[in-house]
Amino acid sequence: MIFQDRHHAGRELVTRLSAFAHRDDVVVLGLPRGGVPVASEVALALGAPLDVFVVRKLGVPGYEELAMGAIASGGVRVLNENVIHHANVPAKIVDAVSEREGVELARRESAYRGGRAPVALEGRTVIVVDDGLATGSTMRAAVLALRRFRPKRIVAAIPTAAPDACREIAAVADECVCVSTPVPFRAVGEFYEDFSQTTDEEVRDLLARAGIDLAAAPGKV
């Protein structure tokens, strides 16, 4: 399936999520930046709050595509001890990479929220959305990090994904919804007519347009 753009992808995705419509316990989180336009359509259709969940992969130095862990919104760090051990990465290097990625995470948090508190997640059903999965490493990190906030249920929702990536996420999330799992799968952008980069400004605008006063949420993550 080819999507016109990320908004179209979100409208297609929500057809698989109708069971979550108009429920008080549901929160929709977009993974910035590309997942936020998709998530905005999902949140609008479900009548649910929209927020972002910022995740920064911790790449092994010199092999940055290999994730040795991730940091996420709320000060969470998840490490892959097997990768760290086999790549022989010293703890001080892990900390240095975490600190560097933490600077960008903090920048994005500030840019998107402007000081507003994140929406509460504990005890709620969290639908976490991205625009597609090639390897699934970012979504996997997000799901593992979200567990720290004690949600009732985590649903990973993706318009298009490599079949292996979809299966991997299904193993760590409570539910994984993938609209399309084409074979062969080389890159997410191949399945969008318009896959232009989402900007920080667009993310801010979508959050504002959602009309969610995050500062008035019933608690913090």
Judge contact between 22 and 49, C-beta under 8 A: no
**pLDDT at residue 86 in the model:** 93
Residue 112's region, left for phi above 0, alpha for psi from -120 to 50, else beta, is: alpha
> In whole angstroms, what is the distance from residue 5 CA to residue 110 CA?
26
The two three-digit tokens of residue 150, written as one number: 């004690």
Residue recorded with tokens 């000060």 = 75
List per-residue pLDDT tens for the chain, 221 residues long. 899 999 999 999 999 999 999 999 999 999 999 999 999 999 999 999 999 999 988 999 998 878 898 898 888 888 889 999 999 999 999 999 999 999 999 898 888 877 777 889 999 999 999 999 988 888 988 998 899 899 999 999 999 999 999 999 999 999 999 999 999 999 999 999 999 999 999 999 999 888 644 333 333 33
**pLDDT at residue 117 in the model:** 79
Question: Interhelix angle for 35-46 vs 200-209, to 10°?
Answer: 10
Going from the N-terminus, what domains does the chain have, and what CATH number goes with each?
A: 6-56+115-213 (3.40.50.2020), 58-112 (no CATH)
The two three-digit tokens of residue 219, written as one number: 């608690």
Is the pTM higher than 0.75? The answer reads yes
**pLDDT at residue 115 in the model:** 73
Judge contact between 34 and 198, C-beta under 8 A: yes
Q: For 188-219, write each residue's pLDDT tens digit.
A: 999 999 999 999 999 999 998 886 443 333 33
**pLDDT at residue 199 in the model:** 94
